[in-house]
């Protein structure tokens, strides 16, 4: 069970650091934009492309679908393979519920990921190819 707690802490720290990095980027971009407006100059084109890439929903849908599918598969593997084979868990009756929870959440995450990938494949990929972005 300690390995699961360590993995959850690592994912939590990664999410927090990723959020902080995005907020810092947006803050720096807004400061640059304010300085450019104060001087009366325009922003370089490549910076505008970086910001528009963050709102490219086709790539966001694809990314969320892949991450959800991978996390779902990991949850199913933990619930069906790793936890049942751990020594010393055979005498605990409640551990079957833990297996079922990991398995069920894994299936839900995998289904969510497959749904996002289907939406990307049927809808967002076509929109991205029409606008020149998205793949």
The per-residue pLDDT for range 15-67, each reduced to its tens digit, is 888 888 888 888 887 888 788 778 877 666 666 556 555 556 777 788 888 88
Same domain assignment for residues 85 and 134: yes
Same domain assignment for residues 43 and 67: no
- Give the whole-angstrom CA distance, residue 45 versus residue 65: 30
Same domain assignment for residues 50 and 100: no
Long-range CB contacts (within 8 A, 24+) of 50-57: 52/133, 53/133, 56/128, 56/133, 56/134, 57/124
Note the pLDDT tens digit of each residue in 68-97.
Answer: 888 888 888 887 877 777 776 666 667 777
pTM score: 0.55
Q: Which residue has the higher pLDDT, 103 or 131?
A: 103
pLDDT of residue 114: 92
Q: How confident is the model at residue 111 (pLDDT cuts 50, 70, 90)?
A: very high
pLDDT of residue 134: 45
Cα dihedral angle (12, 18, 19, 24), rounded to 10 degrees? 150
- Give the whole-angstrom CA distance, residue 21 versus residue 17: 6
Final residue of a structural domain among 13, 40, 55: 55
Same domain assignment for residues 89 and 108: yes
Total tally of structural domains belonging to the chain? 2
* CB of 56 closer than 8 Å to CB of 134: yes
| Structural domain boundaries enclosing 84 | 56-135
Same domain assignment for residues 124 and 78: yes
Q: How confident is the model at residue 102 (pLDDT cuts 50, 70, 90)?
A: confident
């Amino acid at each position: 069970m300690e390995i699961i707690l360590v993995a959850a802490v690592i994912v939590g720290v990664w999410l927090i650091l990723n959020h902080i990095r995005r907020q810092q980027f947006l803050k720096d971009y807004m400061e640059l934009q304010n300085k450019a407006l104060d001087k009366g100059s325009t922003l370089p084109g490549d910076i505008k492309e970086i910001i528009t890439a963050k709102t490219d929903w086709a790539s966001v849908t694809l990314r969320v679908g892949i991450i959800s599918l991978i996390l779902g598969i990991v949850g199913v593997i933990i619930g069906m393979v790793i936890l049942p084979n751990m020594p010393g868990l055979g005498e605990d009756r409640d551990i079957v519920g833990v297996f079922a929870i990991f398995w069920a959440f894994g299936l839900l995450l995998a289904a969510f990921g497959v749904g996002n990938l289907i939406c990307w494949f049927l809808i967002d990929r076509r929109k991205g190819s029409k606008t020149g972005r998205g793949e």
